[in-house]
Amino acid sequence: MYDVIIRNGSVIDGTGAPARPADVGIADGKVATIGTVDGDAARTIDATGKLVTPGFIDIHTHYDAQAHWDTTLSPSPLHGITTVIAGNCGFTIAPLRQEHGDYLMRMLSRVEGMPLESLQHGVPWNWNSFGDWLDQLEGTLSINTGFMVGHSAIRRLVMGERSVGNQATPAELDAMKQLLGESIAEGGLGFSSSWATTHNDPNGQPVPSRHASEHEMVELSSVCSEFDGTSLEFIPAVGRFSDDAIDLISRMSAAANRPLNWNLIAVSTSPRQIEVMEHNLAASDYAASHGGKVIALTVPCAIQTRLSFQSGFVLDALNGWREPMALPDDEKMALLADPEQRRELNELAQGPSPLRGVAKWHHLTVGEVFSDDNTPYQGRTIGEIAEEENRDTFDVVCDIVLDDDLQTGLYTPLRGDDDDTWALRRDVWRDERTMLGGTDAGAHLDLLATFNATTAMLENACATRDLLSWEEAVHLISDAPAQMYGIKNRGRLEEGYYADVNVIDADRIGVRPTEIRHDLPGGAWRLYGTADGYDHVLCNGAEIVRNGEFTDARPGRMVRSGSETSGTSI
């Protein structure tokens, strides 16, 4: 007797092998039979004319906090995701000591775009050890979830206020290594950190991990060598890597004897961006010749960014803007309203910065507005408005933002949605030095909608542009990430594997428009988007999505190192 039989589908097993007609029999949360399935089942799903695939795996998310108020981890499962890895970039909420909870909460709000009121109202902040935290979440979630152990959290707990602005003493480094080891032993999947210039704390200072020495980075990485099934995740820089950064990530990986993935490689047909991409990808070659393994993550979709002067994220990476964007709202508004300070701020923004292109104000489009006076500007570019009103573009930006009490949504151009860029993406995906990921789902709730990346990839690369076979595309977002993280018995449709399964209508697959949804604790909102084409999504044999809607099932498991992962040694 089976729990579920999926009949008459075209099975894509995740390995890249050709699709084949077969039934899939599921029992006790696992795939029991693939082929001709005889027998009865408590439930039968007719997959005639549909694809039956493994559930997809998203290895770069930030669902650490959302897991406490949204047990579906939406919207990821609506895009076929059945396993996620969170705790990336050094930003975790465990381990925890109560005196540091407020700092970690405000840091998360600042760097990951999670509304502070949601973190205050939606997260209990009542655990101490990493294991205590995982135990709280065990058995509550729709999908399988694993967490890295974050550097900034470890550093803050050990060093307190000294974690910002100071290097660790030998005793402090030993204490960090011990705390990291304890957290991994309790289920953490490895070590994550960041030196990204966009990552600043609630006081406008670089987050704790950015104050670490290279020695500290290598020593903490080495802790992973003591535990099977662990990995490293790190952002060494924004933009073009220096030779020192390439050498550092190679030494980190070699010290850990584990793969290191870095976030994020941007795909563009711009000659300058291609040069940066090729330079950074060469870090993998350098690492391989020095005993390490380095993998670049790439988001498999075109990206449009929503900027907000209220949060200041991304804007704070502009030259000289880090501290102004960390000011309280009233002080920030006073600065923007002052003609002389406004002029100085704009001049600074044109200075050297990896994200200097953000300050091409004329390209921005006005999205959501909150003042009636700004309603006529909605959907128009700053350049159009400035030309019509014979005004400076930055003056237009500031005046609109001030009328909206900083809440205006300003959208960068959608670049990279053309045939040439999609073809280049396909070539990058096929490079063994890359891995699909980096969606940041669960973070930047007012900035990005890349949580839909798997659907956007399948829609564009398979359904409309015919750049990849379905078999190759599914492999890239199921078995390949499972292999890199050593996730046991997931990522494939294979007898004995966990029954994480998608039933997909290939003729209907597609991303639905992004919307604003007011469903966060404390009354806050987020960008949200669903998909067409996912008729059924199963996790551990239980249906969690039916025809694009969540069910009440919460069968997800904690993906803990050692028990749920293994075999990650280089």
Tokens of 485: 């993280």
CATH of the domain at 164: 3.20.20.140
Of 458, 491, 524, the position where a domain reaches its end is 491
CA distance 66 to 86: 11
- Residue 203's CB is within 10 A of a number of other CB atoms, namely 12
396, 445: one domain: no
Q: Kindly tell me the burial class for residue 7, based on how many C-beta atoms sit within 10 Å of its own C-beta (0-12, 13-18, 19 or more).
A: middle
Q: Identify whether 65 is part of a domain.
A: yes
**pTM listed for this prediction:** 0.93
299, 324: one domain: no
CA distance 405 to 332: 10
Of 460, 491, 522, the position where a domain reaches its end is 491
130, 171: one domain: yes
CA distance 567 to 255: 16
Q: Identify whether 211 is part of a domain.
A: yes
- Residue 354's CB is within 10 A of a number of other CB atoms, namely 17
Closest CA to 397 of 361, 355, 447, 433: 361
Q: Identify whether 513 is part of a domain.
A: no
Q: Identify whether 246 is part of a domain.
A: yes
pLDDT in tens, the chain (570 residues): 999 999 999 999 999 999 999 999 999 999 999 999 999 999 999 999 999 999 999 999 999 999 999 999 999 999 999 999 999 999 999 999 999 999 999 999 999 999 999 999 999 999 999 999 999 999 999 999 999 999 999 999 999 999 999 999 999 999 999 999 999 999 999 999 999 999 999 999 999 999 999 999 999 999 999 999 999 999 999 999 999 999 999 999 999 999 999 998 989 999 999 999 999 999 999 999 999 999 999 999 999 999 999 999 899 989 999 999 999 999 999 999 999 999 999 999 999 988 889 999 999 999 999 999 999 999 999 999 999 999 999 999 999 999 999 999 999 999 899 999 999 999 999 999 999 999 999 999 999 999 999 999 999 999 999 999 999 999 999 999 999 999 999 999 999 999 999 999 999 999 999 998 999 999 999 999 999 999 999 999 999 999 999 999 999 999 999 999 999 999
186, 127: one domain: yes
Of 389, 411, 433, the position where a domain reaches its end is 411
324, 261: one domain: no
224, 256: one domain: yes
What is the tally of structural domains in the chain?
Answer: 2
Q: Identify whether 127 is part of a domain.
A: yes
Q: Which stretches of 291-445 are DSSP H helices?
A: 329-337, 339-349, 382-389, 393-403, 419-429
Q: Identify whether 44 is part of a domain.
A: no
316, 460: one domain: no
220, 288: one domain: yes
Q: Identify whether 524 is part of a domain.
A: no
Q: Identify whether 382 is part of a domain.
A: yes
98, 189: one domain: yes
- Domain boundaries, position 120: 56-304+415-491
419, 385: one domain: no
105, 122: one domain: yes
Dihedral angle computed from the Cα positions of residues 9, 539, 494 and 441, in that order, rounded to the nearest 10 degrees: 100
353, 474: one domain: no
